[in-house]
Amino acid sequence: MFFPVDPTRLVLVVSIWLGLAFSLPSFGPNLDDDTESTFGKEPSDAITRDVCVIGGGAAGTYAAIRLRELGRSVVLVEREEQLGGHTRTYYDPEGRPIDYGVWVYQNNTEASNFFAHFNIPLTGQDFSRISEGSQRIDLRTGQRVPPPSGNVTDAMMRYVQILLQYPYLSDGWDLPDPVPEDLVLSFREFIEKHDLGAAVETITLYVQGLGDILSYPMVYIMKYFSFGVALGVQSGFSTSASRANGELFQAARNELGDDVLLSATVAGMERSDSGARILVATPSGDVLIEADKLIIAIPPLLKQLENFDLNDQERELFGQFGNSYYYTTVLNLSGVPNEVQILNRGADTPYNIPVMPGTYVFYPSQIQTLFTGFFGGGSQNMTEDEVIQTIKDNALQLRNAGFDVADPEILAYGNHSPFNLFVPAEAIARGFYRNLYSLQGNRRTYYTGAAWHAHDSAALWKFTERLLNERVFVD
């Protein structure tokens, strides 16, 4: 999970949740093979594995480690120079860490076991101290913005009670047919229907990285600010005791050893009912991988899958996805007290939602004057220079709010785009996710990652664990 803030403490009726019976999502049937050969290379040149995993983010790395732990041979292909996906850790000159990607994790069995596998201790993370020092400022102008009107706690209680009506959202996208009306309402319509105006600030602080958030189908908000997140707001989240979540993925990289191909991209692919052949371009040359099964753990956008042998159904479904853009930074922001977080709120927008592109929040780290800055591009794919300049402009507006801010210095930058993948409400109502899940197992290929569940590492590890046990090891 990226950036949780706790402006209010929720009072949750956990016993209601525990008393609910709910079904687990079905990953769907196999489809017919309709691919043709796209390349040729002698099998003697191949790396042979039980499973090839493409994508070394949270879900793909977890899958690779668990497959080895369960006795399967595996190779992991990752285009970046390191594993971890959205997880980013910056170290200052004294070696002190600051996480500026994934900060915290839900408290579930899969998260605890994954960290324990590498003997990395966890600790609790409570945001109440900093949230009490929140200052709401329109970062376009420096104008101060008042806190939400109304009873925030009551509004959040209503939101949580609504979440409890849809427990299946905690496990994936196994939506009923017909899809409940509340799930395909826009966030704006949902707020009005349930009188949740007082809760909007809390919800939107946890639901970052989207585009025009008020227009999003409500189900995406619920998938992001899930019941598990609500429990974390109430009782705390987990994070590495070292405050360096990147250590988890460095440990995974060390354990996988030569079974990781970094800075590697798919150059060609053949899939059939008997397995997969993947041609991978690496810095040291092309490598052919022959695997009994394939797990794809990257965003299923057509532009990301250009060299994949997609069939017509895959191309039609993946082609419906849109996406947003999200960026994170570490910056030196002297002049702002280290116990204060700056919330960007629109002085003239509905529910004071910040205008995108723009900074969501400047959050203080454990190191004096160093802050993390979380930035939304909305629907705009911005360059690094554009993002950094806008963050600096936003920070300098704090002078108009009374802060003696020096020129900010950007120390670290992370591009998390493409971020949230989405389809219109009409597509969801027509069964888009039911059709998407039917791809699981087609041509011995399985899918995991945020598009298949949620932007939440711990929730993805649970989803991936079930995928391995209920499909990959069974089919």
Q: Who contacts 172 (Cβ-Cβ below 8 Å, separation ≥6)?
A: 24, 25, 437, 452, 453, 463
Q: Per CATH, which fold does 14-23+127-235+325-415 belong to?
A: Polyamine Oxidase; Chain A, domain 2 (3.90.660)
Q: What number of other Cβ atoms are within 10 A of residue 386's Cβ?
A: 14
List the chain domain ranges. Answer: 14-23+127-235+325-415, 43-86+242-322+421-472
Cα diameter, the chain: 69
Please determine, for residue 131, whether its predicted confidence score (pLDDT) is greater than 90.
no
In whole numbers, what is the pLDDT of the chain averaged over residues? Answer: 91
- Residue 230 pLDDT: 92
Q: What's the average model confidence in pLDDT over 354-364?
A: 96
* Token pair of 217 as six digits: 């189908």
Q: What is the DSSP string of 84-124?
A: -TT--EEE-TT--EEE-S---B---HHHHHHHHHTT--EEE
pLDDT digits (tens, 9 = 90+) for 298-311: 999 999 999 999 99
Residue given tokens 């711990």 in the structure block: 458
Residue 194: how many CA atoms within 13 Å on its side-chain side? 24
Q: What are the residues facing 408 on neighbouring strands?
A: none
What is the β-pairing status of strands 342-344 and 135-138? parallel
pLDDT digits (tens, 9 = 90+) for 280-296: 999 999 999 999 999 99
pLDDT band at 233 (very low <50, low <70, confident <90, very high): confident
Q: Say if residues 19 and 430 touch (Cβ distance below 8 Å).
A: no
Q: What's the average model confidence in pLDDT over 368-391?
A: 96
pLDDT digits (tens, 9 = 90+) for 242-265: 999 999 999 999 999 999 999 999
| First-to-last C-alpha distance (Å) of the chain | 31
Closest CA to 269 of 258, 282, 260, 278: 278
Q: Who contacts 15 (Cβ-Cβ below 8 Å, separation ≥6)?
A: none
Q: What number of other Cβ atoms are within 10 A of residue 15's Cβ?
A: 7
Residue 332: how many CA atoms within 13 Å on its side-chain side? 6
Indicate the angle between helix axes 109-117 and 58-69, nearest 10 degrees: 70
d(CA 46, CA 109): 37
Please determine, for residue 20, whether its predicted confidence score (pLDDT) is greater than 70.
no
Out of 120-124, 128-132, 325-329, 364-368, pick the least confident. 128-132
- Residue 132 pLDDT: 62
Helix (H, G, I), strand (E, B) or coil at 368: coil
Helix (H, G, I), strand (E, B) or coil at 297: coil
> How long is the chain?
475
Model pTM score: 0.91
pLDDT digits (tens, 9 = 90+) for 21-55: 333 333 433 334 443 444 554 445 789 999 999 99
At the fourth CATH level, the homologous superfamily of domain 43-86+242-322+421-472 is FAD/NAD(P)-binding domain (3.50.50.60)
Residue 234: how many CA atoms within 13 Å on its side-chain side? 17
* Token pair of 267 as six digits: 């150059």
d(CA 232, CA 100): 19
**Dihedral in degrees, nearest 10, Cα atoms 270, 451, 47, 315:** 10
Query: In the chain, what percentage of residues exceed pLDDT 70?
Result: 89
